[in-house]
Amino acid sequence: MKLNGSEIIVECLKEQNVDTIFGYPGGAILNVYDALYKHSDEITHILTSHEQGASHAADGYARATGKVGVCFATSGPGATNLVTGIATAYMDSIPVVAITCNVTVPLLGKDSFQEIDIAGVTMPITKHNFIVKDVTKLADVIRAAFRIAKEGRPGPVLIDVTKDVTAAECDYIKETPKAIERQTDTIKEEDVERAVEMIKASKRPYVFVGGGVIASDASDELARFVKKIDAPVADSLMGKGAFDGTDPHYTGMLGMHGTKTSNFGVSECDLLIAIGARFSDRVTGNANKFAKNAKILHFDIDAAEINKNIHSDASVVGDALEILKRVNAKLEQQDRHEWLEHIHDYEKQYPMAYRKDCLNGPLIMEKIYELTKGEAIISTDVGQHQMWAAQHYKYKKPRTLLTSGGLGTMGYGLGAAIGAKVGCKDKTVINIAGDGCFRMNMNEVATATRYNIPVIEIIFNNHVLGMVRQWQDLFYGKRYSATVLDDCVDFVKVSEGMGAKGYRVQTIEEFEAALKDAMALNIPCVIDCLIDREDKVFPMVSPGAAISEAFDRKDLDRMNSEK
């Protein structure tokens, strides 16, 4: 049948079983929105308050559901407003398809109104991007974009369509998407054999889990692997929930704000098995001192990650689920109770301690865990609150922590929470924000109330840019340059002005009552939690130090007393 480009876009989205789009219309993309209007019973469109909110919502939808997230924007500033969200998805390997429209082909390259080379702008931060100037190629490009976003190491894809293409007509033939095959051709039998031999020979193995395990849906196979080799497990921020955070083998996050148990244990292990992790600088600390007693065995789908940041003694390249299946099939049950007991001694010696006599981040996160029974989806912005959310909420399942790990995007969480709630309507979805982050995209509260998307926004309000101030306090002589937020902004009034229910709390008892009420109301709610600006995230590894040099509050007090 003959359709115009806008109708082809909608039909191709239906082919891909897209049920939700997050976006913001404008002149160049008007034809597409007109076509979308006719299919509003099949595809829900969420009008965000800002295009950045749309890209974060698509990202959060993708992380929470495992599907491809989709966002729309018009040309010029509409397209450029997506850039931070696209980069966020790129750094964390999240499958998102962003569709923008541009000026007509004759106006390209002439500095036309709201013209921008968005394909050029996003080239470094997309897995692939397209500009479509011929309507006969449009359907194939959209199908390719979804395939590219999902296959191998996932990532965002941008499609820029000129406005004349959205109006031009051509024949459209519906196609059923082909199943995405897991990447197995790179898994070599000799690599698997070598991995198995290294594991068998190890006396003190440690498993380090990253976001690749979640992307490949390999959590169950990972659990079997860990039980077979009887080893402790640490994770990255992106790997939270890939392995059950309540399992006795789990020792907490690794790296700058990881547990002392994980940092010390990895520093002592003789074999570090990294699965779907990229050895970020936030994980390794001083790379020259990282896991110096260990051989490194690296499983990853992206060959470019092997030896990029940390040298590997052996590796297997391919889909994490398929690698683990093949390794598990060759392993017999092992017993390393002495090594595990040694690690458990570290857990007893170095518990995650914090004050319980006042409202603070760790106490709030533990109360959230208690009231949600650990079954909520938690999204975060970036900063101290993000680290407290990672440290003090036990993530038992994958896709339950949504956070900007690679780019560190302040303002990410609320949009992501909206996307997650739209995709997982039966889940309690809570965003953890700092007051600095909330200021960046608080306008998305209006999106939540417009559609009655019952997300709960919890603000850790210390009236400072907490993590930056923490660094200024510890490493910059307490020179608090541009990090104090003492002003007259009332987050409760602002939130209520956008239609949400607002709470302000100063004690854990008030917080518990507010959260219970918010969960029962099932409407958009904002809880403003007043906490002490002197609170810090511990443990911590100083920049340039080894992770074995992690210090906590007691260590800091001792070091200060010795000066």
Cβ(260)–Cβ(270) below 8 Å? no
3-state secondary structure 301-369: CCHHHCCCCCCCCEEEECCHHHHHHHHHHHCCCCCCHHHHHHHHHHHHHCCCCCCCCCCCHHHHHHHHH
Which of 14, 15, 67, 114 is catalytic? The answer is: 114
Catalytic site residue 460? Answer: no
275 CB-contact burial (10 Å; exposed 0-12 / middle 13-18 / buried 19+): buried
Strand ranges, E, within 189-319: 205-209, 233-235, 250-253, 271-275, 295-300, 314-317
Catalytic site residue 16? Answer: no
Q: Which two tokens stand for residue 461?
A: 């309000």
Cβ(512)–Cβ(522) below 8 Å? no
d(CA 150, CA 341): 41
Question: Facing residues of 14 across strands?
Answer: none
Catalytic site residue 373? Answer: no
Tell me which DSSP letter residue 106 carries.
G
Which of 11, 51, 268, 305 is catalytic? The answer is: 51
d(CA 132, CA 239): 36
DSSP characters for 546-558? BGGG-B-HHHHHH
d(CA 155, CA 151): 9
Which of 127, 150, 163, 536 is catalytic? The answer is: 163
Which of 38, 113, 493, 554 is catalytic? The answer is: 113
Cβ(378)–Cβ(401) below 8 Å? yes
91: left (phi over 0), alpha (psi -120 to 50) or beta: alpha
304 CB-contact burial (10 Å; exposed 0-12 / middle 13-18 / buried 19+): exposed
Catalytic site residue 338? Answer: no
554 CB-contact burial (10 Å; exposed 0-12 / middle 13-18 / buried 19+): exposed
Q: How crowded is the C-beta side of 393, counted as CA atoms within 13 Å?
A: 33
Other beta carbons within 10 angstroms of residue 520's beta carbon come to 8
Catalytic site residue 333? Answer: no
Which of 198, 238, 256, 467 is catalytic? The answer is: 467
248 CB-contact burial (10 Å; exposed 0-12 / middle 13-18 / buried 19+): exposed
CA 285 to chain CA centroid, Å, is 21
Other beta carbons within 10 angstroms of residue 445's beta carbon come to 27
DSSP characters for 468-496? HHHHHHHHSTT--TT-B--S---HHHHHH
d(CA 433, CA 414): 8
Residues acting as catalytic residues: 51, 113-114, 163, 467
